[in-house]
Structure 1
Amino acid sequence: MNKFKFYFILTITTLSLFSCSKSDTVADVPLREYATQHETDKTDIEEYLKTYYITVTDHAGFTDDQDVTFTKIPTGGLQPTIYSFLDSATYPKLLSKEVSLHDIKYKLYYLVLREGVGASPCNVDGVLAAYKGDYLARKTVETVTTLSATTFETVKYPQQFLSLFTTITGWGEGFPLFKTGTTSSNTDGTVSFNNFGAGVLFIPSGLAYYNNGAGSIPSYSPLVFSFKLYEIQRLDQDQDGIPSYQEDNGDGFLRVLATGVTNPDDTDKDGIPDFIDIDDDADNFTTKLELKKPDGTYHTFGTVPSCSGQTVKRYLTASCKPPYIN
């Protein structure tokens, strides 16, 4: 099958229907200049960080563990602002990262309540997470304009894994910075989650829905997502038998970049990154076929014993010499 046709089919069939999915957006307002809007969003987010405080529930083994509430500091109030935790040596810890998109660098703030003790997802993995989403907006009442947060969705008991590949960009950039925890079975058949990663993402609209909006979320709205990362699911976007997270260049993030931009995750440099490319080396044989052994099983990734510890991305034999794909 032509790989471009496959890519189109794959993209259509993997779109999700949950609220933070990219597929929910419907453009209905003019497009603003990205850099200008980002400055507006950053101003709103930083005002929120400097005028609100948090209350975190520590209740290990219960569903309200690491629940976080946000309250505006009253005039004269002495509560520590969220911003006061910037680069803190202890938790909670407010950090930020740069995200390159739309030819600008976005500033994504994230608050670490607890890092977690398990594995971190790649930005194309599935996540099982409880979360609450708010959007920020300025409202004017009797000539007085204030910044407020409005809740648009709460999921306390997640029932399905959500693919970070099809959610908003802010989720894909933020969740890999956290880890899962541990699980234990209860006598009533339920599962308890402990020591999971928990935090808050403060997402500029350019990493969310931008001019589209979604459901009750207005266009150009910065978003605040508090979440708990319970479990991850390793996905295989191109269904070649190799989990997508094993097809990245080692930084934990897989990218679909603009035409002409060098992508370290694109082995054959054909413009399609390996995790959605059914023929990574452009030899007209699918990767899945090349990995299949005569007995019907598949070769795996990792260190090849006969190669003196050399690690190859995927290989056809246990030899350090071709044929193998490095």
Structure 2
Amino acid sequence: MNKFKNYFILLITTVTLFSCSKDDPAAPITPPREYATQYATDLIDIEQYLKTYYIEDVSADADTKISKIPVGGNQPAIYSYLNNTSFPKLLSRDVKLHDITYKLYYLVLREGVGDSPTNVDEVYTTYIGEYLATTTVESVKAQTTTKFEEWINQPQRANLFSYIRGWKEIFPQFKTGSSTSNVDGTISYTGFGAGVMFIPSGLAYYSSGNGNIPAYSPLIFSFKLYAMQRLDHEFQFVNQSIAQIPDGVLSFQEDLDGDGYVWTKEELPAGVANPDDTDGDGIPNFLDTDDDGDGVSTKKEITDAAGKIIPFASIPSCDGDTTNPARIKRHLVKCN
């Protein structure tokens, strides 16, 4: 899908957009809508969709067809599966951002049998993306969905760190599948997670839109989570270029509170301390080359005398204990 790049790329884009506006002083500038006001509209529209559409078919391979309930029809609406104890089940996740709490609905068709990614891992996924539009004519509401992207022939690699917030929130709620290598070089997946996410515009592209996605559009993604790859994200700017400098600790291992998510300061509600930022310097551990702020890089702290990276499970805690894997490892805390 068309994705948000890392924050420094967004900054460059923003500067470019403002530069263009200055070249055309006559161009009107419309301020973005208030997040709370737009979210209230999005929530009504999404819940209306959930109450008037049904799951027409889910194939053995979790291909999903969702259709509008016809007039007089008695098909069970998607909303009827809310908090169901069996599959399919409609769940929601609260996301605190923009000084409001978003209710992010997602439909679980299959949970998956493997591991769950964090919001900064790379996922292998196929998906169909649609945007939801609601119009009112003579007091009658009409909803339509328009497909803007489809990636279904082979899994796409997606680094969730650089994708929209809705994806970051929902993929960690699913698990990967199992894989088998075929003689022709292809890979077959079974038992993978599959679902549908319903994203308010404030957790997607909001006032900017994207490509052929209109501004303020709620998005619907049907997706499958086949596999994932753990990543190590630390980087720095060198001569105006980005240099990857991983510290030897995978980003998912820098999730100190164990909730399956690690966030940047900009992604957290205003005034909330980052639980995954050991030294409180505003840089979360998964992006920080010196997690504990002692002036010694994390990579150096976990490199042995022979110059080899110490495996994560063997990194000692402050008191040197390496026997209890549940202990917080040395580089993740301030030991002095």
Could you tell me the TM-score, scaled by structure 1's length?
A: 0.84
1:75-224 map, 5 Å: 75-139=71-135, 145-158=141-154, 160-224=156-220
Alignment-derived partner of residue 288 in structure 2: 277
Residue by residue over 1:26-63, the C-alpha shift from the partner in whole angstroms, topping out at 9 and shown as x without a partner, is 7785311111111100000000000001133332xxxx
Candidates 309, 314, 320, aligned match of 2:324: 309
Alignment-derived partner of residue 49 in structure 2: 48
How far apart, in 1, do the equivalents of 2:293 and 2:271 lie? 17
Q: RMSD across aligned C-alpha pairs, in angstroms?
A: 2.5
Candidates 237, 245, 264, aligned match of 2:275: 264
Distance 1:142 1:311, change over 3 A: closer
Alignment-derived partner of residue 252 in structure 1: 260
1:311 Cα deviation from its structure 2 partner? 4.0
Farther off after superposition, 186-195 or 134-143: 134-143
- Quick check: 1:300 aligned with 2:311? yes
SS of residue matched to 2:272: coil
How far apart, in 2, do the equivalents of 1:37 and 1:164 lie? 25
Farther off after superposition, 268-277 or 186-195: 186-195
SS of residue matched to 2:37: helix
Alignment-derived partner of residue 288 in structure 1: 299
1:144 Cα deviation from its structure 2 partner? 5.2
Alignment-derived partner of residue 73 in structure 1: 69
How far apart, in 2, do the equivalents of 1:296 and 1:41 lie? 54
Distance 1:324 1:204, change over 3 A: closer
Question: Contact 1:135–1:150 (CA<8 Å) still a contact in 2?
Answer: yes
Question: Contact 2:55–2:78 (CA<8 Å) still a contact in 1?
Answer: yes
How far apart, in 2, do the equivalents of 1:312 and 1:214 lie? 44
Residue by residue over 1:104-133, the C-alpha shift from the partner in whole angstroms, topping out at 9 and shown as x without a partner, is 100000000000000000011110000000
1:256 Cα deviation from its structure 2 partner? 1.3
Give unmatched runs, 5+ long, in structure 1: 1-17, 60-64, 317-322
Could you tell me the TM-score, scaled by structure 2's length?
A: 0.82
Question: Contact 2:126–2:156 (CA<8 Å) still a contact in 1?
Answer: no
Distance 1:307 1:191, change over 3 A: closer
Alignment-derived partner of residue 31 in structure 1: 32
Give unmatched runs, 5+ long, in structure 2: 18-28, 235-245
How far apart, in 2, do the equivalents of 1:125 and 1:310 lie? 22
How far apart, in 1, do the equivalents of 2:228 and 2:118 lie? 9
Residue by residue over 1:256-306, the C-alpha shift from the partner in whole angstroms, topping out at 9 and shown as x without a partner, is 125753111010011111111111111222111111112121123236595
Identity of aligned residues (%): 53
Alignment-derived partner of residue 10 in structure 1: none
How far apart, in 1, do the equivalents of 2:250 and 2:71 lie? 52
How far apart, in 1, do the equivalents of 2:69 and 2:39 lie? 25
How far apart, in 2, do the equivalents of 1:140 and 1:310 lie? 58
Distance 1:219 1:97, change over 3 A: same
User: In structure 1, what residue type is equivalent to 2:251?
Assistant: S
Q: Which has the higher contact order (CA 8 A, sep 6+)?
A: 1
Question: Contact 1:312–1:325 (CA<8 Å) still a contact in 2?
Answer: no
How far apart, in 2, do the equivalents of 1:255 and 1:306 lie? 28
1:246 Cα deviation from its structure 2 partner? 0.4
